Amino acid sequence: MTTISAAGSTLTQQLYQKLFDRLNIDGDDALTLDEISAVDAGNTKVSKAFETFDADADGRVTRAEMTPADTFGADTLNALIQAQSGSESISDQEYLADWFAQTDTDSDGLVSRSEREAAADLRRAAAYDAGYRSDRVVMARLGSDRDQPLSIDDFVAGRMRTLQPTQVSSLSPERQAEIRQLMESLRSDPAQAPPADDEPLASPEQIAADRAERASGPAGTARFLSREIEGLRAAEAARIAAAPMSDALAARLFQQALNSWTPSRDGQQAVAETRA
């Protein structure tokens, strides 16, 4: 089976390494129940999660037990990104409701900027590890204050589509303004943004080849170009290493671990389940 990795480990794995380091207060390279409980105080599932992570039942969770497998098969990566991007069979409104429920880590009915950034971090890691991104997008509605916590009514979900300039110019000014806002909101997140304009000096043959490569991913996705993906992964790895881990990101990783990871049968390493 084909495997994909970035600099010897995936970005998703790098995020879990940072979560482990954040929780490992005493620095002994193993987590106790009290240390794991700190990420989601009051969660009744924490003790069950500890048992799940503690594959060899020795009362400690090691770095290997907390971290997904070193390499992922293509099928597993497909499941990961589909879990991040949503099933093809659900409507945009259903996808938005699912995204909002996962993003609202404190269940207060609002998503803060920190919670939205945590969701974007997970989406980028999954997309870059997989080598393609979903065409599903979520954006704040026109006029929303993105620095403030927002309700589900402040968002809209949809799919990215390529529009010709003549199609855009024929739209109403209000619709054109919405499209401009969408482009601005997505431009800072390559894992969700539309592909960049073709290189101005590229030949027609190269442009056609690039478009074919972008279209070669699973249904409902766009593949990153082979010449750009390693640079994107390297830049994201550096960003993850430098950025402090927020409470919201720690909570999302813990939540994802509960939902998506299970100990391997030999009790030595955590592996990804392949269901979306």
Q: How many CA atoms lie within 13 A of 148 on its CB side?
A: 7
Q: Which two tokens stand for residue 60?
A: 């400690």
What per-residue confidence (pLDDT) applies to 270?
Answer: 37
pTM of structure: 0.74
For tokens 């929303």, what's the residue? Answer: 144
What per-residue confidence (pLDDT) applies to 69?
Answer: 55
Range with top average pLDDT, 68-77, 109-118, 184-193, 244-253: 109-118
What per-residue confidence (pLDDT) applies to 109?
Answer: 96
What per-residue confidence (pLDDT) applies to 112?
Answer: 95
Q: Which of 40, 20, 98 has its CA nearest to residue 48?
A: 40
